[in-house]
A = this chain, B = another copy of it.
Amino acid sequence: MHSVISLLGFAAGTLTTLSFIPQVHKAWQSKRCSDLSWGMLLAFSSGVVLWLIYGLLLKAAPIIVANAVTLVLLIALITMKIRYKS
């Protein structure tokens, strides 16, 4: 059962993490992030950092991996939002 739960966690993490790839791709291609909210980007990034610590304390690999990758993609979006400011 434990491995089934971990597998489900990895599937969940893969989806929520990979979901930022089309968003980064769209922003990169359109050079537009103006409909993305600063509040969302900053609050989400802060939350992802806390989830990362939570995952490390729980030693829950799916939570750790998913949030580490999500953080990298969020930093990419924030960088583009600054560069393509409108």
Contact = CB atoms under 8 A, between A and B. Distances in A.
Contact of A23 (B8, B37, B48): B37
Given A22-B39, A35-B36, A8 B57 contact: yes
Chain A contact residues (Cβ within 8 angstroms of B): what range? 35 or more
Task: Identify whether the interface residues of A are mostly helix, strand, loop, or mixed.
Answer: helix
25 contacts: A4-B57, A5-B57, A5-B58, A8-B50, A9-B51, A11-B50, A12-B51, A13-B47, A14-B47, A15-B46, A15-B47, A18-B43, A19-B39, A19-B41, A19-B42, A19-B47, A22-B43, A23-B36, A23-B40, A25-B37, A26-B40, A30-B35, A33-B35, A34-B35, A36-B36
Interface of A: 4-5, 8-9, 11-23, 25-27, 30, 32-44, 46-48, 50-51, 53-54, 57-58, 62
